[in-house]
Amino acid sequence: MTWLDILIVYLLVAIVLDHAHLVCPIWLGWSNRGFREHMLRRPEKFILLPALCLFSAVMIGITSNTTHEPAFRGLASVYLWWNAWHFGSQHFGVASLLGWRSGPRWARQAVIIVPTMLLVTIPISFGSVPVLIRGSVALIVIGEVISFAHWTTDVALTSRVMRQWGWAFLLGVLAMGAIGFVWKTVGTDPRLCGPRPACTVVWSIPTLLGLRYGLGFWHFLMSRWVWKLSDPQVRATIGRALFE
């Protein structure tokens, strides 16, 4: 097996893990009876807001002829930066779970979230440059390592809370992760992949990508809500299952 074969296998696995983790906080929040009751008491926040984000993203996709139109570029930019913040927030949350609580909260957030956002966004910028920039491969690898750790951490923590489901949850969420192949495929066309010999290619269909971005926004919101352990409602429901 060549390095190219290994890379393609990794990217196939990454597509599944990426979309499996996309489902995790949504499944977790709505399957947990206590937290579900909490959400139903605030439908404007937990139902209408995600629905508005999803609807807006899909409508931008439907009304865009290409992914290069200003409205769609704006949607993609919002997704890019929100996703980077989401990654950094997970790192901050994990660091807090591991016991790092000394010092001002804003300082700890700056130390963890800002570098994570840079490491997540810079490789994407390099990926759009046709000429290989010195050090860009290393940054792309670092970005992939961060992404892989992010996905597996989300799946692992959710599996921990939902361990009463046994293997059914893990198998189910990985099966749902296969939906990622609707949006992504692995190819070796240098016109699509830039300097990389193999890459994850997103189909340039605005409506499909709008739907994907909308689901991502729903994921970002639910992830913030279900893992905000400073919230008494989360500690009393999901937090209890996490730590018991």
Between CA 179 and CA 165 the distance in angstroms is: 22
Q: Is 242 domain-assigned?
A: no
Does 149 fall in a domain? yes
State the pLDDT at residue 68: 84
User: Rounded to an integer, what distance in angstroms lies between the CA atom of residue 204 and that of residue 221?
Assistant: 25
241 lies in some domain: no
In a domain, 55, yes or no: yes
- What is the per-residue pLDDT for 169? 93
Determine, yes or no, domain membership for 125: yes
pLDDT at 29: 96
Range of the domain at 7: 3-235
Q: Does residue 243 fall inside a structural domain?
A: no
Q: How many domains does the chain have?
A: 1
Q: Per-residue confidence of the chain (244 residues) as pLDDT tens digits?
A: 777 778 788 888 998 999 999 999 999 999 999 999 999 999 999 999 999 999 999 999 999 988 888 999 999 999 999 999 999 999 988 888 888 778 787 788 888 888 888 888 775 554 444 434 444 667 777 778 888 999 999 999 999 999 998 889 999 999 999 988 877 766 655 554 555 545 555 556 788 889 999 999 999 999 999 999 989 999 999 999 998 8
Cα(124)–Cα(119) distance, integer angstroms: 9
Instruction: Answer yes or no: are the C-beta atoms of 238 and 32 closer than 8 Å.
Output: yes
Supply the pTM of this predicted model: 0.85
Instruction: For residue 104, report the phi and psi dihedrals to the nearest 5 degrees.
Output: -60, 145
Q: What is the pLDDT of residue 194?
A: 53
Instruction: Answer yes or no: is 244 within a domain.
Output: no
224 to each of 60, 133, 137, 200, 227, how far by Cα in Å?
24, 35, 31, 27, 6
Instruction: Look at residue 240 and tell me if it is in a domain.
Output: no
Predicted local distance difference test score (pLDDT) of residue 123: 59
* CA 135 from centroid of its chain's CA atoms: 25
The DSSP result for 106-118, as a single string, is: HHHHHHHHHHHHH
pLDDT given at position 48:
98
